[in-house]
Amino acid sequence: MGINFISKFNQERATVSLNDLETEAQIQGCQSQFNPPKASHHGGVWERKIQSAKILDASLLLLGPRSLSRDEFTTFLAEATSIVNNTPLSDISEDPNDPVPLSPAMLLTLKSCPNPTTLEEYTERDILAYGKRRWRQIQYLAEQFWIR
């Protein structure tokens, strides 16, 4: 993905005065800089969010040779999106009197608890669920995504 930005940057350099853009950005109080290639650890917060999306692969490997239908896969992605959007944007304080840290889901829904947790427990046996209980397979995968 970074290669796309670099080539676009080089392409734009020929047609647009980057000095003018940089001056305008500085007037607006913005600063842009590229991360070094193959150094995602320079990314900070946004790279941690991207890292959590990479965990999807590890969760799907739990299925083994089985596969998900399109609807099941879409549901799993929605569950994973919910998990990522409910992670706090800042550190969680140990003091119970401190305010609850904001999460992207709170900002999107304007609710303090947009997705309450379920009280049901899912086990590794749920991976083999079929028929009417197949939804438990997705819930188990989502729980494993959360754990990882």
Assess whether 100 and 125 both reside in one domain: yes
Q: Which residues contact 52 (CB under 8 A, 6 or more apart)?
A: 83, 84, 87
**CA angle at 93 for the pair 114 and 55, rounded to the nearest 5°:** 60
Question: How sure is the predictor about 3, in pLDDT bands with cuts at 50, 70 and 90?
Answer: low
pLDDT tens string 49-77: 677 777 887 888 888 888 888 988 898 88
Question: Which residues make Cβ contacts (< 8 Å) with residue 116, sequence separation at least 6?
Answer: none
Domain that holds residue 14: 1-34
At 32-53, the pLDDT tens digits run 776 777 776 676 666 776 777 7
What CA–CA distance (Å, rounded) separates 95 from 143?
27
**Number of separate domains in the chain:** 2
39 part of a folded domain: no
Residue 71 covered by a domain: yes
Same domain, 52 and 95: yes
Are residues 4 and 61 located together in one domain of the fold?
Answer: no
* 25 and 97 assigned to the same domain: no
- Placement of tokens 């083999």 in the chain: 128
CA distance 50 to 126: 28
Asked whether 63 and 69 are in contact (CB, 8 A), the reply is no
By C-alpha distance, which of 69, 57, 68 is closest to 144?
57
In a domain, 138, yes or no: yes
> For residue 6, what pLDDT is reported?
67
Q: Are 55 and 78 within one domain?
A: yes
Is 53 part of any domain?
yes
Centroid of chain to Cα 85: 7
Q: Write the pLDDT tens digit of every residue in 83-121.
A: 888 888 777 888 888 888 888 888 888 877 776 677 778
Judgement on whether residues 81 and 143 belong to the same structural domain of the protein: yes
Q: Are residues 26 and 65 located together in one domain of the fold? A: no
Q: If we measure between CA atoms, which residue out of 109, 105, 114, 112 comes closest to residue 85?
A: 105
The DSSP 8-state label assigned to residue 34 in this structure reads: P
Taking the whole predicted model, whether its pTM rises above 0.75 is answered as no
